Amino acid sequence: MTHLEKDTQEKKNFDRPLFEIFASYYRPHRLLFGADMLCAFLTAAADLAFPMMTKYAIDRLLPGELYRFFLVMIGLMLLLYGVRTGFSYFVTYWGHTVGAYIEADMRRDLFNHLQELSFSFYDNNRTGQIMSRVTNDLWEVTELAHHGPEDLFISLITLLGSFVLIFCIHWEIALALLILVPLLLLHTLRSRSRMMRASKQVKARTAEINASLESSISGIRVAQAFTNESYEAVKFKRGNEGFKAAKKTYYKSMADFHCRLEFIIHILNVAVIGLGGLLIMAHKMNLAELITCNLFVSAFLQPIRRLANFVEQYTTGMAGFSRFVAIMGIEKDITDAPNARELTHVQGTIEYREVSFSYNQAVQVLEHINLRIPAGSTLALVGPSGSGKTTIGHLLPRFYEIREGSITIDGTDIRDIRLKSLRNNIGIVQQEVFLFAGSIKENIAYGRIGAADEEIIEAARRAEIHEDIMKMPQGYETLVGERGIKLSGGQKQRVSIARVFLKNPPILILDEATSALDSTTELKIQRALDALSQGRTTLIIAHRLSTIRNAGSIAVIDTQGVQEQGSHEELLARGGLYARLYAAQFLAEGGIGPGLSA
């Protein structure tokens, strides 16, 4: 994110009314938007000029046999519509472009905001639903951003202009229109809220379908392995039926709106013809004036239809925009303190003091955890599944915020360190490896954007993956596929380890870093990780105890907190929880344990 983009996002206040927030997105494009509105005004003016020129030609030029001037008038009409076509082109092209710019600005702000939300947000929201907010919802905002102001502006200019000119011709006709038009406006306002509710329901159902589709496609291999394709089809059908029902409700509201609107519009035509005929019978109006009034009514009806389209665009666009504002209004629960500083000259002493944490108020995950990792040393966390080992690792880079206690690095509370600076000094190899759908080179370089090719290769060598890469057809340019599907589990893990080698941070968190490797590869990687850990503070989260026997200190965690801490030999001699876990793994691995070197 550039500083300019960040500043643009931070200046917006999403606690204001929807209309104010929506209008604020026009500000960066106000010159282009102003030119668009000027062309829209000139287009409306041309539409109003045509009936008056027609009236003059029929009422004055033809009866007076001024045929040369009549032909000149026809030429002026052609010129007028030629110029109008140019204005219309500008409105159509640049008006839509302004809408696309605004959509892109909103998508940028939304993406940047999503990047800053903590893990807890993603724990509670499905990927497909978030994708729907970023794509489907904002797509309809483009149409509203362009057509909304343009349709509203042109409609008001044309309606007011037509009404004034009709009033100048015959006030009786204008009075009839003045009685009927409020009925149109009342009908429009009553229909808008009903269509808005229906549109929001459609968007919610669309988000559910996207979430279901994303889940099903991501899990297609599992579904096929368990032959549950029919079950997935039933799940999708259930969501699809809900979408159809929501769409039917919306289309019913839309049909009701348009049919009543068309009926009132046709009544306007009948009213003008009928009233005009009576005025001709009473010798208060001539045929030329009636033709002119009918032309004005045609010009009058076009903005009414524009208003009808505006109502439909407004309901769908603002429904999407309101969902956009709802997610933009979610406060970041992890932010920099006002006096936060950069983390520099890191020694790496880490201390957890009376740390308690819960994902929600009901379930306590960690309670009064106390741990100290001296600078340059290694602490391994072991314990039963669900004891909170990974959570302890996630709290250090502030992926989640602690509820009580404090975590310090070199005596400084991590909440007093700038978040970016904190995470720049921590390298993480996670249990579940995620690779982006790019090349191997791009995935390794993610550890330090802009790294030289030589540095990337060196990182791959140290992660024991270079030889594997060189055997691939495109080498470092080999595409890894979606989530790294083209690589083996061990290769994916080693690419993720290479990232950390490249980042070269003073603090390491290894969360089951060798869990996806075979025994031979595990020994190679373990040696590489041992070398990487030299001189760095390392927190190892391990399930396989054979990988952490040489750790300087081992802490045994269960649901009650830290139960034991010491070296491998000390904990075995103590005969407590660690000894029982080690014995259980020793038996499970067929007796391979006490003699195994990590």
Torsional class of 484: left (φ above 0), alpha (ψ -120 to 50), beta (otherwise):
left
User: What's the confidence (pLDDT) of residue 412?
Assistant: 92
Name the band, by pLDDT with cuts 50, 70 and 90, for residue 5: very low
User: What's the confidence (pLDDT) of residue 1?
Assistant: 39
Higher pLDDT, 465 or 208: 465
Mean pLDDT score, 23-49: 87
Q: How far is CA 377 from the centre of its chain?
A: 41
Instruction: Give the start-end residues of each E strand in 337-440.
Output: 350-358, 364-373, 378-382, 404-409, 412-413, 426-429
User: pLDDT tens digits for 245-297?
Assistant: 777 777 777 777 667 766 776 677 777 777 777 777 877 777 767 777 776 67
User: What's the confidence (pLDDT) of residue 422?
Assistant: 92
In terms of Cα–Cα distance, which of 361, 362, 350, 359 is closest to 406?
350
State yes or no: pLDDT of 214 exceeds 70: no
Mean pLDDT score, 542-569: 82
d(CA 324, CA 321): 5
User: What's the confidence (pLDDT) of residue 371?
Assistant: 92
Counting every residue, how long is the chain?
A: 598
User: What's the confidence (pLDDT) of residue 154?
Assistant: 79
Name the band, by pLDDT with cuts 50, 70 and 90, for residue 507: very high
State yes or no: pLDDT of 595 exceeds 60: no
User: pLDDT tens digits for 333-350?
Assistant: 888 888 889 988 889 899
In terms of Cα–Cα distance, which of 491, 498, 398 is closest to 455?
498
Question: Percent of the chain beyond pLDDT 70?
Answer: 82
pTM of the model as a whole: 0.71
d(CA 41, CA 156): 10
d(CA 50, CA 491): 73
The class of domain 13-328 in CATH terms is mainly alpha
d(CA 492, CA 189): 57
In terms of Cα–Cα distance, which of 520, 527, 510 is closest to 463?
527
Q: Which amino acid is at 318?
A: M
Helix axes 229-281, 171-218, angle to 10 degrees: 170
User: pLDDT tens digits for 352-370?
Assistant: 999 988 877 666 788 888 9
Q: Which fold would CATH assign to domain 343-425+505-598? A: Rossmann fold (3.40.50)
User: What's the confidence (pLDDT) of residue 410?
Assistant: 92
Domain positions in the chain: 13-328, 343-425+505-598, 432-498
Q: Helices (H), strands (E): how many in the chain?
A: 20, 10
Burial status of residue 479 (CB atoms within 10 A of its CB: 0-12, 13-18, 19 or more) = middle
Mean pLDDT score, 455-470: 88
Cα separation values, 554 from 142, 548, 583, Å? 57, 8, 16
